[in-house]
Amino acid sequence: MRFEAERSAFLVVDVQNDFCPGGALGVPDGDAVVGPINRLSRHFRHVVLTQDWHPADHVSFATTWKRALHDTVIVGGIPQVLWPEHCIQGTGGAAFHPGLRVESASLILRKGTRRELDSYSALFENDRRTPTGLDGYLRSLDVKRIWIAGLSTDYCVYYTALDAIRQDFDITIVEDAIRGVDVPEGNVSRVLAELRGLGANFVHSSVLDD
């Protein structure tokens, strides 16, 4: 396939211990994304890693509200699904999976750092308006195409892809390098169908192999 490394960025979403099996918000088979991501990242000039990075009393934690997991609360008009405490700033759970190749990354972007507003997307916080800065970063590098992989398919990968499409980037999702939480059940297939309908491309990680 034709591939223009200069104008493409590889966006690796939240491959952190807490999203891997045994972690606080373990995604089933989540660590299976590490191998394909490491193989693919060699091909890119720009590799961006994101890190979910929450304060201990974050708005997305069920404990903050004393509510049940996966309940939804409305905060400032924005629906917020409640999760176990995860990716607390500076903890081992917030660290990248130890197998992830991080040396070649040009940018590590932390998100969800504010107590009162979550950020699933790497581009805009959950009010869908507050920029993280990544859109400007990619534009200033003349990036047109974004390949996306990581965790979790139906939250951070999904919202990142939605925002990227909205910002007119050409989107490719690496189908064997994503895993979802599937909350509520059926969510993964719903979001993948939606992204396909919006024009996202889907490839297998072997597509760039020599």
Q: Which stretches of the chain bind Zn ion, using CB under 5 A? A: 52
Site for ligand VGL in 126-155 (CB under 6 A): 151-152, 155
Q: Any contact of residue 61 with ligand VGL (CB under 6 A)? A: no
* The total number of residues written for the chain in this structure: 210
Between CA 128 and CA 155 the distance in angstroms is 14
Strands 72-75 and 78-81: antiparallel
Q: How many CA atoms lie within 13 A of 20 on its CB side?
A: 20
Tell the smallest beta-carbon distance from residue 60 to Zn ion (Å): 5
Amino acid at 80: Q
Cβ contacts of residue 183 below 8 Å, gap of 6+? 70, 81, 154
Q: Any contact of residue 121 with ligand VGL (CB under 6 A)? A: no
Q: Any contact of residue 14 with ligand VGL (CB under 6 A)? A: yes
Q: C-alpha distances in angstroms, 22 versus 27, 30, 33, 157, 190?
A: 9, 10, 15, 20, 26
Residue 66 appears among annotated catalytic residues:
no
Burial of 180 from C-beta contacts in 10 A (0-12 / 13-18 / 19+): buried
Given 156, 162, 177, 192, the residue binding ligand VGL (CB under 6 A): 156
Residue 156 appears among annotated catalytic residues:
yes
Residue 18 appears among annotated catalytic residues:
no
**Residues touching ligand VGL: how many (CB under 6 A)?**
9
| CB nearer to Zn ion: pick between 51 and 205 | 51
Tell the smallest beta-carbon distance from residue 36 to Zn ion (Å): 23
Q: Any contact of residue 31 with ligand VGL (CB under 6 A)? A: no
Catalytic annotation, pick one of 111, 118, 135, 163:
111
Which positions are annotated as active-site residues?
14, 111, 156
Question: Which stretches of the chain bind ligand VGL, using CB under 6 A?
Answer: 14, 19, 52, 60, 83, 151-152, 155-156
